[in-house]
Structure 1
Amino acid sequence: MALKTLRELGERGLIERILRLITPLPSNPLPPWEDASALELHGDLVALLKTDMLIWSTDVPPGMRPRDVGWKTVVMNFSDLAAKGVRPLAFLASLGLPADTQLEVVEELTRGIDEASRHYDAYFLGGDTNEASEITVAGVAFGVGKRERLMRRSGAKPGDILAATGLFGDTAASFKILLEGYEAPGDLRRRLLRAVYHPEARVREGVALAERGVVTASIDSSDGLAMSLHDLSRSSGVGFRVEHLPITEEAMRFAELHGIDPWKLALYGGEEYELVFTVRPENLEEARETLREVGCSLIEIGVATRDRRLIYIDGGMEKSIGGGWEHFKSRPPPAPQAA
């Protein structure tokens, strides 16, 4: 039998293969398939580690400045710590750089990394540089939290309320503008593109929810709301019924302008870095007040179910939620060519 390619396996199939080859860490504070990795320190303290990389040819859309690339690399990593309820303390970055890269590009990348790190009260400590065929930025986030306060992907129970720290759809609309040539009026275009060029991680929100101890399961939405729900479902052993369309006003305007199903924009965008989490009904108002105290609104999306199906309700009809974006399997459309 021919060996499978990564395109056949997909990212999650590849991760399953890799996990079989790794010696498990005894007393691992976080199991496999989590947003970050953890290591026991002393007492109830644990170190949280996360690495995520950005590849110029596949992850940097047209119009994105090097400074924004540096910023986004930090957000990608810090968002996963936020989903576990841990405040990031430090950031490292390894830069793969072609020899003909302009010095200004590297300096702007560095400024973006440092600005984002300080924005979240963390520090950029340095890293490594090496020659590469294209610009690659691999980040590592570090934080410390209490083991008993970690918000895991497992823990959701049937009847728990499904919620998020924000609405969705802006990045899906932005990618249609940047990669597929869709048009949008100037003000709408600017608002949508900001979600891609200058995203925000929900660090304060994640830490506040963890300290209050009201969340039963949590994940960030960097792979899209649909994929996040699939991952929560696998880890918690529940299904989800999405009853409210969680879409921004801007994404809805874009959907109406082009006759696009708004549910598709909300479910299958990715790179939005909201926290998607579950709360027991009796703790819902406490969770809502916790987020209100840090300037965020709790968005109710739906409910966890016993039957493990993932569905959304559109016009009174039940529809299945697909898997969404997956590295190696999914292919973005080519960027539009200039005339």
Structure 2
Amino acid sequence: MSVGDVGERSLIDLFFTLIEGFPRAVLPFGDDAVGVPLGNDALIINTDMLVGRTDVPPGMSYWQVGRKAVVMNVSDVVAKGAKPMWAVFSLGFPRHTTMDDAGELVKGLNAGCREYGLYYLGGDTNECADLVVSGTAFGLVGRTSVISRSGARPGDIVAVTGPFGFTAMGFKILLENMSADSQSKNLALRAVYEPQAKMREGIVLSERNLASSCIDSSDGLAWSLHEISKMSGIGFIIDSIPAPKEVQTFAENHNLDPLELALYGGEEFELVVTIPSVKWSRAVDSVKVVGGTLYKIGTVTEDKELLLRLPNRAEKKIEPRGFEHFRKQSEKDFGEHGTDLH
């Protein structure tokens, strides 16, 4: 049996059975990042790999590749409420890579680090058959303020920090040659090429002890909800999904379901959070103060099912779908950076 037969997530499950866990870990295996105690703080560590064939869409510049590698790592750190501090990157370049292109990638790494307040400390460089950017980001958060995936409780409100669907739309445009008006196309391609990590939102929710659980949504909204459900032992009733009007129009024009684009697209790098209902108003105001928005999408239930209950639609279960490395994919499929080994 090969990894292609079982897929990435089964491979990760195998790894968990083979690794001796750190007994003082602040976060368990399976969370967005690793957490280890450091005095009164927790050092949050995340590592993510970007590979040219699966993670770099057509038209993406080397500068954007470098910056995206930063966003991938930062997003998981801030999902735990930590302030990003430092990063290291190991770079693998094919022999034919030009010096200018390599330099642009490193400029993108440095620019992304400065954008999110990290310092790029260095790393390793090697020759590879494909472009590889493997990063590790480090952040700090008070030990009592770490937000795990496992704290959601029945009655909590589930919310997201932004709308969903632009990246799925962007990949349809890039990989399947689907059309869109120029303004909508620019919005979708910007979401693909220059994603944003929701750093301020994650930190303020942590500092004010407002979130019971949190996850980065880069593997897709549906998959993120299932991960919180699994680790918290709860379910969801989802009664609203924020999809921009441009995504809805694009879906209508191409006979697509906008909910499919929003639920299963991936790479939005939004935060999916659960908030105790008594803290909801404070959470909305706190996120607004730092320039963000919380969109309420449903409630946490004791029943472990994940149900989509939208007006004028039949109730249905939310499937645990998303891109998975090693699985046989269509040539048009394009994946996020993969499930983390944490």
TM-score scaled by length of structure 1: 0.95
Q: Does 1:94 align with 2:90?
A: yes
How far, CA to CA, are the matches of 2:274 and 2:330 in structure 1? 31
How far, CA to CA, are the matches of 2:131 and 2:104 in structure 1? 13
Cα deviation code 1:195-242 (max 9, x no counterpart): 000000001110000001010110010000000011000000011111
- More divergent stretch after superposition (320-329 vs 273-282): 320-329
Partner of 2:332: 334
Is the alpha carbon distance of 1:208 and 1:332 closer, same or farther for their aligned partners in structure 2, counting shifts above 3 Å?
farther
Q: Does 1:311 align with 2:318?
A: no
Partner of 1:180: 176
Partner of 1:267: 263
- Give the counterpart letter for 2:65 in structure 1: V
Aligned partner of 1:59 among 52, 55, 62: 55
Alignment of 1:276-295 (within 5 A): 276-295=272-291
How far, CA to CA, are the matches of 2:63 and 2:80 in structure 1? 27
Alignment of 1:166-177 (within 5 A): 166-177=162-173
Cα deviation code 1:83-141 (max 9, x no counterpart): 00001111111001112211111100001000010001111111110011111000110
How far, CA to CA, are the matches of 1:324 and 1:188 in structure 2? 26
- How many residues align structurally? 331
Contact 1:153-1:235 at 8 Å conserved across structures: yes
The alpha carbon displacement at 1:313 in A equals 1.9
Partner of 2:212: 216
Alignment of 1:5-84 (within 5 A): 5-42=2-39, 44-84=40-80
The alpha carbon displacement at 1:329 in A equals 2.3
- More divergent stretch after superposition (305-314 vs 57-66): 305-314
Stretches of structure 2 lacking an aligned partner (at least 5 in a row): 334-342
- Give the counterpart letter for 2:249 in structure 1: R
Question: Over aligned residue pairs, what C-alpha RMSD do you find?
Answer: 1.2
How far, CA to CA, are the matches of 2:57 and 2:327 in structure 1? 19
Q: Does 1:117 align with 2:105?
A: no
- Give the counterpart letter for 1:32 in structure 2: F
- More divergent stretch after superposition (50-59 vs 324-333): 324-333
TM-score scaled by length of structure 2: 0.94
Contact 1:164-1:300 at 8 Å conserved across structures: yes
Cα deviation code 1:136-172 (max 9, x no counterpart): 0001101111111000000111111110111100011
Stretches of structure 1 lacking an aligned partner (at least 5 in a row): none
